Chain A
Amino acid sequence: MPDGGGAQFVRLAGLKRYFDVSAPWLVRKIEGRPRQIVQAVDGIDIEIARGETFSLVGESGCGKSTVARLVVGLYPPTAGTIEFDGNDMAGRRSRSDMAALRRRMQMIFQDPYASLNPRWRVFDIVAEPIRAFGLSTDKADLQKRVEDLLRQVKLTPADGRKFPHEFSGGQRQRVSIARALASQPEFLVCDEPTSALDVSVQAQILNLMVDLQRRFGLTYLFISHNLAVVYHISTRVGVMYLGRLVEVAPTETLFTRPKHPYTRMLLDTIPDLDMTGRQRSPVAGEVPSPLNPPFGCTFHPRCPFANDRCKTERPKALSIEGGTVSCHAIEEGRLAVDERSYTANS
C-alpha cells in the first residue's frame, strides 16, 4: 500500500458539477427561453483522512449523491479537483495507471434491487471486479477468493450459485458489499447503503460495515439523510444544503455543539425516541429549487437569523472547533454556539 504522502487520503477542492437541463435548442429559440443550469454541487472542499468515515448529510436534492458519483468518477466535474492518495484523478495518464487507481476505490449503491444484474449469478457478480482488474487468472484461485468474500459478508459459498432475486434486500446489500470488496479497495463510497432496508437489517449491515472497516483498514465516504445513522457510524460529518457544504465537524462536536442554523434545524427534526418530551420544532419552508438558488447564503430564506448581508454575500468557510462553518451570523458573533446534550437515559 503506497503511502499517501500528506495526511489526507482523499481531497476534494472547489468541486463543482453543473447539469444543463435546458429545453432543446430549437424550443429555446422559438419560445425565447433561457438556458437552465442546475448547480447540483457548487464548490465543495473536503479532506478525508485514511481510515476515517466521513459522512455527508442533507435533504434530497442537496447534491450529496452527486458528490459520491463525482468522487468515483461516474460524473466528470465541471470544475475543481479530486485527489486520491496524492494523485489528481483528472490528470492524464495511461489506461493501466488509471485502472490501478480505480481498483482502489469502489462504490455501494442505495438500491440493492437495481444495482445487481438480475441475469447473473451472485458468483459472477462478485467475481466481475476480480476479472476486470485481472487480479486472478487461475480458476481455482478465483473460486476461493469469491467464497472468502461471501463468507466475509456473512453469506455462504453456496449462495454464489443463486440469482439476486432469491435474496432479501439485506442479503442483496451484502452481495453489493462483497462485490465492492472484491478488488481489495482502500476507499469505499457508500451512497445511502441502508436507506432501502428495514431497521433490524440496517443494524446488521451497519455492524458489518464497521467490522470490515476495522479488518481491512477501509476509508468510507458515507452518504445518508438519516442523522441517527450518521451519528452512529461517522468520524466526521459534513452537512450539505443546496450544493454547498454549510458545516463540517467531528461527529461528537456536530451533534452536541451545532453551529450552522441549518444543522440545528436538521437536529431538531430527529424523532425523539427517548420520549424526553423534547418538542420537535417543525421548521417552516422547504428546500428551494436548485434551478435558481437564493443569492448570498442559500439558506437565508429559511433562516431565522438572516440579515441583509446574508441575502447578498456568500459566506466563506470559517474554521472553528476542529471543523468549518459557513455562516455570517456565526462569523459576526450574532449567533452563539448551540449547546445541547443528548443524555442517554436507560
Chain B
Amino acid sequence: MAVASNNPPLLDVRNLRVEFPTRRGTLVAVDDVSFDIAPGEVLGVVGESGAGKSLTGNAIIGLLEPPGRIAGGEIRLEGRRIDNLPYEEMRKIRGARIGAIFQDPLTSLNPLYSVGRQLVETIRTHLPVSMPEARTRALDLLKEVGIPGAESRLDHYPHQFSGGMRQRVVIALALCAGPRLIVADEPTTALDVSIQAQIIALLKRLCREHGTAVMLVTHDMGVIAETADRVAVMYAGRIAEIGPVRDVVKNAKHPYTKGLMGSIPNLGVRTERLTQIDGAMPRLTEIPAGCAFNPRCAGRGSRCLSERPDLMPAGTGRAACWLHDRGGVGRPLAKETIDA
C-alpha cells in the first residue's frame, strides 16, 4: 500500500458518472465518484445493494449493461484513458490488463467447454503462445490456485467442480494473462464461510506474489476488513467515505459508516439490540436534496438538507459529511421518526 505519492496510480477514476436513461427521465446511478488504486493495492468498495458499487466496477471493465452508460468523468489505467475506447480495443485490455471475477462462478464459466479449453483459449487470446505452451500455463495456473489433481481436472467440465473449486477456476481465468488489476465483484458471496476463508486467503496470496492490484466489490464488511488496504464506502451512488481500512472500520467518520458498522453483529459484544439505521437507502428516483443520507442521519443540520457535501479530509481519510467542514452542519435539526 505504501506507494510514494509521485508514482502514478495504476487506476485513476475521476468524477465518474453512470446514467440510465428511462422514460421518466435520467437516473444517475453513480454520481461523481473519484478514487485511485496504487499498484499492488487492494481497494475494498463496500455498500448495500443499489449503492452503485457493482456499476462502478462494471464501468471500469467496460461491461456496463445498456442502457446504462458512462455520462461523465474519466477512467485511466496506467495513465491511459480507457472509458472511451471502442468495444474491440476494450476487449483487448479486458483480460490482458484487467481481470474480472464475478459473484457466481457457475455463470462465469461456459458449461459446454472443459475448464482446460477455456483457460487455453483465454491464454492464447491474450498471449502469443503455442497450444502446448498454453496448456502448460493453464496447468500451472490451476496448481497455483490450489486445485488438487490439476492434471486430471484440466479436462473436467465446470459442473464437475464444487462451488469453491469453480471460483478457483474463475480466479485462474482472471490471472491468465497476468493482469495489473483485478476487479472482483462479490467473489465470495455465493460460497460457504469455510470456503470463503480459503478463497480470500488465495486472492491475497496471489496479489502479493504477482503485485496485482485488486478492486474488491462486496457488501461484506468482514471480507473487506481482512483483505483490503483501503476501503471506499458507497451510499446512493456516491462515495460516503474513503480511507485506510483500519480507520474506517474502527473509527468511521461518516454517520452512515458508523451506523453500518454498528449494525453488524459482532462476536464478543453481545448486546440486547443492534444499532440500527432506520429507514432504507433511497431509490434512485427519489434521492433527497443535499446529503443523500440526511433523512436517516441523527446528526443532520439545516445545511445537510440543501447543500451536497463532497469528500473532504476527515481523520486519515476523507468523508462526504458537513460534520468535517469548518462551516459545520448548520442549525441542528431533530431527526424525524421514520417508519421503515
Q: Interface residues, chain A, CB within 8 Å of chain B?
A: 59-60, 154-156, 168-171, 174, 198-204, 206-207, 210, 225-229, 231-233, 251-252, 255, 265-266, 268-275, 280-284, 286-287, 341-344
Which residues of B (255-291) have their CB < 8 Å from a CB of A? Answer: 259-278, 280
Q: Is B71 an interface residue (CB 8 A)?
A: no
Looking at the complex, which one of B195, B200, B272, B278 makes contact with A204 (CB distance below 8 Å)?
B278
Which residues of B (8-51) have their CB < 8 Å from a CB of A? Answer: 48-49
Q: Is B130 an interface residue (CB 8 A)?
A: no
B272 contacts A280, C-beta separation under 8 Å? no
Which of chain A's residues have a CB closer than 8 A to the CB of B275?
203
Complex: A201 Cα to B281 Cα, angstroms: 10
Which of chain A's residues have a CB closer than 8 A to the CB of B277?
200, 203-204
B197 contacts A342, C-beta separation under 8 Å? no
Which of chain B's residues have a CB closer than 8 A to the CB of A283?
194, 197-198
B260 contacts A200, C-beta separation under 8 Å? yes
B264 contacts A199, C-beta separation under 8 Å? yes
B266 contacts A273, C-beta separation under 8 Å? yes
Q: Is B223 an interface residue (CB 8 A)?
A: yes
Across the interface, name the chain B residue whose C-beta is closest to A231.
Answer: B267
* Chain A binder among B90-98, B170-178, B214-222, B298-306: B214-222
Which of chain A's residues have a CB closer than 8 A to the CB of B223?
271
Looking at the complex, which one of B221, B246, B261, B267 makes contact with A270 (CB distance below 8 Å)?
B267
Given A271-B225, A273-B266, A282-B201, decide whether A59 and B193 contact each other with a Cβ distance below 8 A. Answer: yes
Which of chain B's residues have a CB closer than 8 A to the CB of A252?
270
Most buried by A among B250, B263, B339: B263
Which of chain B's residues have a CB closer than 8 A to the CB of A231?
265, 267, 270
Complex: A251 Cα to B265 Cα, angstroms: 14
Which of chain A's residues have a CB closer than 8 A to the CB of B259?
200
A269 contacts B263, C-beta separation under 8 Å? no
Looking at the complex, which one of A155, A174, A265, A271 makes contact with B226 (CB distance below 8 Å)?
A271
A230 vs chain B, min Cβ distance (A): 9
A272 contacts B225, C-beta separation under 8 Å? yes
Which of chain A's residues have a CB closer than 8 A to the CB of B162?
286
B260 contacts A199, C-beta separation under 8 Å? yes
Which residues of B (89-131) have their CB < 8 Å from a CB of A? Answer: none
